[in-house]
């Protein structure tokens, strides 16, 4: 049996090897997007200039299971402001958020909002504007629904009959599959390949926004893949930004030029935490609780903590490019229940706040810019990316279209060019209750 010293030396050797590999890739061959000393295609060379089609643009919207429309209020207001800014700067009288992002990831109420903005109508245009989405979210705030995220929620009629493969493109949505005890990500890239991985949009939103005490039993459109879904928060994916970035970096068919985080532009939007964030130079002093928190409140605190951890991890992964390539807005809101009549004013107040952000080698600090100012700056970046893409002879995004004919689960498993997938069996309600 090896001694502790031997084990420690093994860990050090492995760490040294990984660091050397990183340095070799980054500085010798330019693996991080920079110009390595042995690289023949750095940023200033003709080859790199020819292939530079801009950054992959990612929209990520937080959300937690069992929450109401208030979780999407900050995001809806921010995207309405973003769309208004694009109208002014892009010279387009009718711009849509979906036209300026390549990938959307949403969880909980954030998934419902993303679905509204990326859902395509019969004419191929996004069906809803960001302002219409904000009006819908604001009017839904404060409604006494047992489960706003369920199939019978107020939003469900918006997506009736819709599949993920055709109308909602370029999107990912996480949940937790209790049948396999593992996270499951509904992906449009998978949906266009096989009917066994294509789910109705209404079921997808119900799965990621399911209440913590309820399950969403969903099946693929061909009935061969079954998911016993719990909310995205159970899978620690209330903040889906990391899942979206990973999807882009590993999907070389659709994003062939995305080799590092320097090739990605991420806009991540929080839900508005339950802890008040000050708009002044110092955070407000927290008020001591007057009672013990309920299980739902404890679960909410856990979800927010995990979302903050994901934010810090993604920010650190972007390193020096964090300020330009990773934009995160978050806000605090009062614990008092929100009302539809004041929802828009509350959203504007959250946009006026400054959130706490992660800075490389400096920990976390209060941002120098308000959320609204970050959105305005992002508008300029998105317009630049759009112009760069139009002038580039080589596209950096090649979204897969629906396969003709689409594969069934049987052909998917037997195909020599397609990764085999295993469908999970759906446990009955009674069997699940007996397991618990």
Does any domain span residue 21?
no
311 belongs to a structural domain: yes
Give the integer Cα–Cα distance in Å for 27 and 156: 51
At 21 the pLDDT is 53
Least confident of 127-131, 201-205, 296-300: 296-300
H, E, C per residue of the chain: CCCHHHHHHHHHHHHHHHHHHHHHHHHHCCCCCCCCCCCCCCCCCHHHHHHCCCCEEEEEECCCCCCCHHHHHHHHHHHHHHHHHHHHHCCCCCCCHHHHCCEEEECCHHHHHHHHHHEECCCCCECCCHHHHHHHHHHHCCCCCCCCCCCCCCCHHHHCCCECCCCECCEEEEEEECCCCEEEEEEHHHHCCEHHHCCEHHHHHHHHCCCCCCCEEEECCCCCCEEEEECHHHHCCCCCHHHHHHHHHHCCCCCCCCCCHHHEEEEEECCCECCCCCCCCCCCCCCCCCCCCCHHHHHHHHHHHHHHHHHHHHHHHHHHHHHHHEEEECCECCCCCCCHHHHHHHHHHHHCCCCEEEECCCEEEECCCCHHHHHHHHHHHHHHHHHHHHHCCCCCCCCCCCCCCCECHHHHHHCCCCCCCCCCCCCCHHHHHHHC
436 HSE (CA, 13 A, CB side): 11
Does some domain include residue 428? Answer: no
The confidence score (pLDDT) of residue 335 equals: 66
Residue 192 covered by a domain: no
> d(Cα 219, Cα 23) in Å, to the nearest integer?
46
CB 193 within 8 A of CB 418: yes
Q: Which residues contact 329 (CB under 8 A, 6 or more apart)?
A: 74, 78, 268, 269, 270, 351, 355, 371, 374, 375
Question: How far apart are the C-alpha atoms of 236 and 233, rounded to whole Å?
Answer: 5
**Is residue 350 predicted with pLDDT exceeding 90?**
yes
Number of domains composing the chain: 1
Sign of the four-CA dihedral 241, 242, 245, 248: negative
- Nearest residue to 180 via CA among 250, 213, 229: 229
pLDDT above 90 covers a percentage of the chain that reads 26
CB of 256 closer than 8 Å to CB of 237: no
Instruction: Determine the Cα–Cα distance for residues 155 and 106; give it in Å rounded to an integer.
Output: 15
Residue 47 lies in a domain: no
pTM of the model: 0.76
User: Would you state the structure tokens that stand for residue 403, as one six-digit string?
Assistant: 């396969």
The Cα–Cα gap between 307 and 314 comes to: 11
Q: By the 8 A CB rule, do 403 and 193 touch?
A: yes
**Confidence class of residue 373 from pLDDT cuts 50, 70 and 90?**
very high
Most confident of 242-251, 267-276, 371-380: 371-380
91: domain CATH number is 3.40.1090.10
Residue 426, pLDDT above cutoff 50: no
Determine phi and psi for 352, rounding to 5 degrees: -80, -5
Q: In the chain, what percentage of residues exceed pLDDT 70?
A: 65
Distance of CA 398 to the CA centre of its chain: 20
Q: What is the mean pLDDT of residues 135-148?
A: 75
Domain holding 384, by residue range, is: 52-144+155-168+236-275+295-391
pLDDT of residue 145 exceeding 60, the answer is no
Q: 44-78: per-residue pLDDT in tens?
A: 434 444 455 689 999 999 987 666 788 899 999 99
Whether 37 is covered by a domain: the verdict is: no
12, part of any domain: no
Mean pLDDT score of the chain: 74
Looking at the DSSP bridge assignments, the partners of residue 186 are 173
Q: Is there a domain that residue 82 lies in?
A: yes
């Amino acid at each position: 049996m090896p001694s502790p010293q031997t084990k420690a030396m093994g860990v050090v050797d492995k760490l040294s090897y990984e660091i050397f590999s990183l340095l070799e890739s980054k500085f010798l061959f330019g693996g991080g997007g920079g110009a390595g000393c042995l690289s023949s295609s750095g940023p200033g060379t003709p080859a790199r200039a020819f292939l530079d089609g801009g950054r992959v643009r990612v929209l990520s919207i937080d959300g937690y299971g069992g929450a109401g429309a208030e979780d999407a209020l900050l995001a809806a207001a921010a995207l309405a402001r973003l769309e208004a800014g694009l109208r002014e700067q892009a010279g387009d009288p009718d711009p849509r958020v979906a036209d300026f992002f390549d990938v959307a990831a949403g969880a909980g109420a954030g998934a419902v909002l993303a679905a509204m903005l990326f859902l395509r109508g019969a004419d191929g245009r996004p069906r809803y504007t960001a302002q219409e989405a904000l009006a819908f979210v604001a009017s839904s705030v404060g409604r006494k629904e047992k489960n706003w995220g369920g199939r019978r929620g107020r939003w469900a009629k918006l997506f009736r009959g819709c599949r993920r493969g055709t109308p909602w493109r370029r999107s990912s949505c996480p949940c937790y599959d209790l049948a396999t005890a593992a996270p499951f990500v509904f992906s449009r890239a998978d949906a266009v390949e096989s009917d066994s991985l294509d789910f109705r949009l209404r079921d997808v939103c119900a799965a990621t926004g399911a209440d913590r005490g309820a399950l969403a039993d969903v099946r693929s459109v061909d009935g061969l893949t079954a998911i016993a879904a719990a909310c995205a928060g159970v899978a620690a994916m209330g903040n889906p930004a990391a899942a979206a970035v990973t999807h882009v970096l590993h999907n070389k068919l659709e994003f062939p030029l995305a080799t590092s985080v320097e090739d990605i532009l991420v806009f991540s939007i929080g839900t508005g935490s339950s802890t008040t964030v000050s708009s002044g130079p110092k955070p407000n002093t927290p008020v001591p609780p007057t009672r013990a928190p309920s299980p739902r409140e404890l679960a909410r605190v856990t979800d927010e903590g995990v979302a903050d951890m994901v934010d810090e991890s993604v920010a650190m992964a972007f390193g020096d490019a964090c300020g330009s390539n990773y934009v995160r807005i978050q806000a605090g809101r009062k614990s008092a229940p929100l009302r539809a009549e004041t929802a828009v004013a509350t959203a504007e107040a959250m946009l006026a706040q400054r959130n706490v952000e992660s800075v490389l080698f400096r920990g976390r600090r209060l941002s120098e810019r308000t959320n609204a100012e970050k959105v305005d700056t992002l508008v300029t970046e998105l317009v630049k990316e759009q112009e760069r893409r139009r002038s580039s002879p080589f596209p950096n995004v090649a979204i897969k279209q629906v396969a003709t004919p689409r594969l069934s689960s049987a052909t998917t498993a037997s195909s020599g060019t397609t990764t085999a997938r295993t469908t999970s069996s759906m446990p009955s309600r009674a069997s699940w209750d007996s397991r618990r």
